[in-house]
């Protein structure tokens, strides 16, 4: 099927997403290729958490420098994702998919042969650029092609991509690093990415309605300054005692940049030249969904980053055992997400979101009770409960967030939603690790053993996460989608 391109003048309103007549087989191929790409890329986001000590030893860099492999990834994501609302209108799904996969492949190959840390960091940045495009692309394509009364089931599958990927990343890296070198992580990703690229080229063939709109360069700069400095400020909280001025300056610049960015987008929306349309925030369900996804992603990434640290350094448990402990939670997410996607389609968000938020909070409160003597199977049970709650939340939120957003704003809505995810993940990871590290250092100074000190710090981190998750439970009942919207 050949692609058609419709050029629209700048004065015309934004395009309405077209739901072309395509076969169920082709639809499965399109969503499948995008979902596989997103899964691989999101898996890559946390796959280095367990491998970081090996990378630091091989590259002879400090922990602060090594952390930039994650910080740099998040920074790039936070800068690129806000532009995807514009990109999804300017370029076809097929073109963006190919660009994203090629970018990811280039970054992966550079990582395999990286001669030093700078090249490895560059590789992660290039990978992140592709990842930032694929996530909104998956959501927008699902919204445009899947009938709304079947959307919950498909979003349930999509939630596996977003939540299970980060959850099993440490499992995968733990298994690989314990048997091979950290480079093997990227070696194994390369053929998978190539296969997914071929699948996308074969299946993603549909009419595209794009418009030639000029990019507002000043908005791009403001977006990069706002989200880049905010994520950097969040990531630098761990070392705020040594870099107080830099951290404060990062937050100040980021907040000023964000205020200017928002003001400019509101102004440009009147002429249809905005980089990111903020109108979806006028909808209560959308706004609450973004807040709740930030809480969910913050507790997810904070937990999967901190748990391996306290178990390996505090309890002396090996990376492979830690990875296998986390695996059942990831599998549980994969099993329940499609089931509750169908529950959403039939009964709406509350029967999915309220139990999900309750289980997420329960999982965090159970983590509050662990210490250096806690058996590994207890961690596994806690993580399964937490993961099931996360799967329900992701399924309900992905479906609810954009259900009442106008179709022409799907691209912008998904860009906002995914930006919230990344900011939530960055904030959560920083809070968990920073609180744990600061309190552990105080305990060590008082003469406590390393394991006791780490778990004492983790106790407070989990307490903060549990309180935030409980706040999410209070928000969940207010997220509603009218029956007539769900039955369209």
CB atoms within 10 A of CB 488: 9
Percent of the chain at pLDDT > 90 equals 24
Percent of the chain at pLDDT > 70 equals 89
Digit-coded pLDDT (tens) for 115-164: 999 999 999 999 999 998 988 888 888 877 887 777 777 877 777 777 66
**How buried is 207 (Cβ within 10 angstroms: 0-12 exposed, 13-18 middle, 19+ buried)?**
middle
CATH architecture designation of domain 24-215+275-480? Up-down Bundle (1.20)
Nearest CA to 479 out of 297, 347, 354 is that of 354
* Mean pLDDT calculated for residue range 168-178: 72
Q: Place 7 in a pLDDT band, splitting at 50, 70 and 90.
A: very low
Q: What are the extents of the domains in the chain?
A: 24-215+275-480, 216-274
* Mean pLDDT calculated for residue range 408-424: 83
* Mean pLDDT calculated for residue range 458-477: 93
More confident residue, 478 or 326: 478
Digit-coded pLDDT (tens) for 109-120: 999 999 999 999
Residue 172, pLDDT > 80, answer: no
Question: What is the distance between the alpha carbons of residues 120 and 72, in angstroms, rounded to a whole number?
Answer: 11
Residue 484, pLDDT > 80, answer: no
Residue 171, pLDDT > 80, answer: no
* Helices 284-309, 376-401: inter-axial angle, 10-degree rounding: 160
Q: Place 384 in a pLDDT band, splitting at 50, 70 and 90.
A: very high
Residue 381, pLDDT > 50, answer: yes
Question: What per-residue confidence (pLDDT) applies to 5?
Answer: 39
Question: What per-residue confidence (pLDDT) applies to 2?
Answer: 42
């Amino acid at each position: 099927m050949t692609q058609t391109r419709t050029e629209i003048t700048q004065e015309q309103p934004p395009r309405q997403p077209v739901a072309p007549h395509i076969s169920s087989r082709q639809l499965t191929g399109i969503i499948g290729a995008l979902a596989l790409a997103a899964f691989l890329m999101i898996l890559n986001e946390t796959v280095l958490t367990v491998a970081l000590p090996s990378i630091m030893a091989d590259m002879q860099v400090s922990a602060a420098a090594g952390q930039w492999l994650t910080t740099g990834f998040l920074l790039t994501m936070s800068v690129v994702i806000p532009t995807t609302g514009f990109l999804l209108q300017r370029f076809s799904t097929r073109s963006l998919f190919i660009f994203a996969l090629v970018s990811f492949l280039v970054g992966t190959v550079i990582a395999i042969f990286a001669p030093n840390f700078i090249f490895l960091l560059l590789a992660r940045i290039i990978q992140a650029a592709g990842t930032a495009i694929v996530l909104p692309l998956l959501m927008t394509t699902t919204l445009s092609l899947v009938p709304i009364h079947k959307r919950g089931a498909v979003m349930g599958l999509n939630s596996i991509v977003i939540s299970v990927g980060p959850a099993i990343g440490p499992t995968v890296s733990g298994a690989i690093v314990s048997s091979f070198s950290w480079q093997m992580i990227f070696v194994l990703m390369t053929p998978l990415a190539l296969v997914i690229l071929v699948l996308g080229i074969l299946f993603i063939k549909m009419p595209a309605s794009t418009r030639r709109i000029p990019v507002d360069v000043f908005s791009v700069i403001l977006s990069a300054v706002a989200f880049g400095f905010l994520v950097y400020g969040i990531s630098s909280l761990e070392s705020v005692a040594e870099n107080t001025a830099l951290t404060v300056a990062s937050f100040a610049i980021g907040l000023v940049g964000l205020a200017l960015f928002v003001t400019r987008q509101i102004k440009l929306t009147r002429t249809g030249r905005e980089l990111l349309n903020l109108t979806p925030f006028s909808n209560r369900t959308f706004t609450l969904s973004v807040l709740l996804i930030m809480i969910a992603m913050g507790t997810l990434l904070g937990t999967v980053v901190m748990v391996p640290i306290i178990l390996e350094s505090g309890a002396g448990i090996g990376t492979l055992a830690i990875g296998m402990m986390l695996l059942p939670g990831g599998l549980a997410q994969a099993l329940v997400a499609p089931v509750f996607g169908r529950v959403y389609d039939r009964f709406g968000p509350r029967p999915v979101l309220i139990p999900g938020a309750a289980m997420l909070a329960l999982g965090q409160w159970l983590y509050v009770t662990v210490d250096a003597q806690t058996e590994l199977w207890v961690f596994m049970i806690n993580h399964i409960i937490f993961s099931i709650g996360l799967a329900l939340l992701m399924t309900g939120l992905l479906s609810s967030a954009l259900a009442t957003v106008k179709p022409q704003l799907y691209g912008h809505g998904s860009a906002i939603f995914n930006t919230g995810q990344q900011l939530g993940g960055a904030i959560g990871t920083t809070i968990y690790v920073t609180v744990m590290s600061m309190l552990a250092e105080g305990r060590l100074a008082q003469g406590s053993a390393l394991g006791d000190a780490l778990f004492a710090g983790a106790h407070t981190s989990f307490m903060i996460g549990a309180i935030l998750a409980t706040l999410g439970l209070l928000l969940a009942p207010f997220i509603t989608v009218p029956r007539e919207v769900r039955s369209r």
